[in-house]
Amino acid sequence: MKALVPGTLALLPSYASIEDPVAPLRAACLDAVGRLGPRVRIVSSAATGGSGARVGAALVAAGGGTVVESGETGVLVVGNGSATRTEKAPGHLDERAAAFDEALRASFAGVDLELAEELWADAACLRDLPPLADAEVLYDDAPYGVQYWVAVWA
Amino acid sequence: MKLGRHAFGDDEALMMAIVNRTPDSFFDKGATWAEDAAFARVAEVVAQGAEIVDIGGIKAAPGVEISAAEEKARVVDFVARVRDSYPGLVISVDTWRAEVGAAVCAAGADVLNDAWGGADPELVDVAAEYDAAIICTHTGGVTPRTRPYRIDYDDVVAAAIADTVAYASRALSAGVARESIVIDPAHDFGKNTFHSLEITRRLDEMVATGWPVLVSLSNKDFVGETLGREVGDRLLGTLAATSVCALAGARIYRVHQVPETRQTVDMVWSIAGRRPPLRAIRGLQ
């Protein structure tokens, strides 16, 4: 079992607000992580200071699981599409972002990592994932100018 | 903290809105003297999110003598009307008289706000009898409705702590529940502007007593004298003082302007780490 979630820092308990700004995303992430079993291996990149690993670990903990290096019951991949989807996006609007994310939506294989960096996408760990067409997609949106997917592969 | 019928968590900051059934209080100058106007004021502050209303029948400053009978005529039926219409609202009555306290508690009041620091020793017995909360204030021992004149202290904060904690102990001995006792340094009561500024600066020492602290800063003369502002032009100064008291951990804010104070206290509460931001996403996407 394998799942994909984004490295959204707002998912961390230490950054909780009174009103959750990512409530639907959080619900989808917890749903996905809940299907990975009790021992979860996290695959994340070094992007943004390695924050993806922290987010992954927090989600596993919230689901009552344990992070392991091996002997896992499921794999949690942390990554996301571009962060340049709108003028208010973290990386401001880049006109290439929508097409980049659309290409990822079709296939993660062969992602252009150079372009990914220009578009502030955390895509290094996405390359080895099967296509979204083969997954149960629990979330696909870019509410704050960053493209998020939550998906589960059986 | 338990205020009559209502319980609150230790991390909550509460707004106590002033509702005057007086023709002559300094800030509103009789705007809510008519019962219907006072009732409309209650509706307004409830809509603004105030947890408590503090109903007063006598202005604090010197003026025409108001008998206990006249004070009761101003507040008792009004308390009953508010109780009936707003079962979830904490009703406090600003009185120093035990006779008035008993009548308002029978009519549904939750809190006796003794702004004159125990001038009537039987008020604590009334609070105990009705399971009401009591606000123990420091006035330096002055007679109700007198202005401070050449009052001085070796240490105003030490005096305020000693007197309010002693009053709290009296209330406890009389049978008032421990969680229903609140202390108030009483800015400007028995104090000059320098005293009120020092009380504000050192409010953390009052909070450290462990008793929940109420502050009544709203548009008072210490703000006016400090900034050279007349009544009606003291909101900014009031909110600055409010911020300092909030950082120290004051729990109840007796105010004229509810939304402004709420926003100020919420901001400081979050700075102090006692309240999360309402909705933070910037940099966290």
Of B279, B283, B285, nearest to A17 by CB-CB distance is: B279
User: What pLDDT was estimated at residue B28?
Assistant: 86
Q: What is the extent of the structural domain holding A92?
A: 2-153
What average pLDDT does the segment B111-130 reach?
Answer: 93
User: What pLDDT was estimated at residue A125?
Assistant: 95
User: What pLDDT was estimated at residue B193?
Assistant: 98
Measured between beta carbons, the chain B residues lying within 8 angstroms of A146 are: 285
- Tokens for A41, please give them: 């291996």
Catalogue all structural domains in chain B, each as residue range(s) with its CATH number. 2-271 (3.20.20.20)
User: What pLDDT was estimated at residue B12?
Assistant: 96
User: What pLDDT was estimated at residue A37?
Assistant: 97
Q: Is the pLDDT of residue B143 over 90?
A: no
Measured between beta carbons, the chain A residues lying within 8 angstroms of B279 are: 17-19, 21
What average pLDDT does the segment B234-248 reach?
Answer: 98
Quick one: three-class SS letters along A9-70?
HHHCHHHCCCCCCCHHHHHHHHHHHHCCCCEEEEECCCHHHHHHHHHHHHHHHHCCCEECCC
Q: Supply φ then ψ for residue B123, to 5 degrees.
A: -60, -35
Interface contact flag, A9 B276, Cβ < 8 Å? no
Number of domains in chain A: 1
pLDDT band at B137 (very low <50, low <70, confident <90, very high): very high
Interface contact flag, A18 B285, Cβ < 8 Å? no
Among chain B residues, CA nearest to A144: B285
Q: For the segment A19-47, what is each residue's pLDDT rounded down to a tens digit?
A: 999 999 999 999 999 999 999 999 999 98
- Tokens for A9, please give them: 């820092």
Interface contact flag, A21 B276, Cβ < 8 Å? no
pLDDT band at B24 (very low <50, low <70, confident <90, very high): confident
Among chain A residues, CA nearest to B282: A90
pLDDT band at B146 (very low <50, low <70, confident <90, very high): confident
- With 0-12 CB in 10 A as exposed, 13-18 as middle and 19+ as buried, what is A102? exposed
Of A19, A89, A146, nearest to B278 by CB-CB distance is: A19
User: What pLDDT was estimated at residue B62?
Assistant: 85
Q: Is the pLDDT of residue A65 over 90?
A: yes
What average pLDDT does the segment A56-79 reach?
Answer: 98
User: What pLDDT was estimated at residue B219?
Assistant: 97
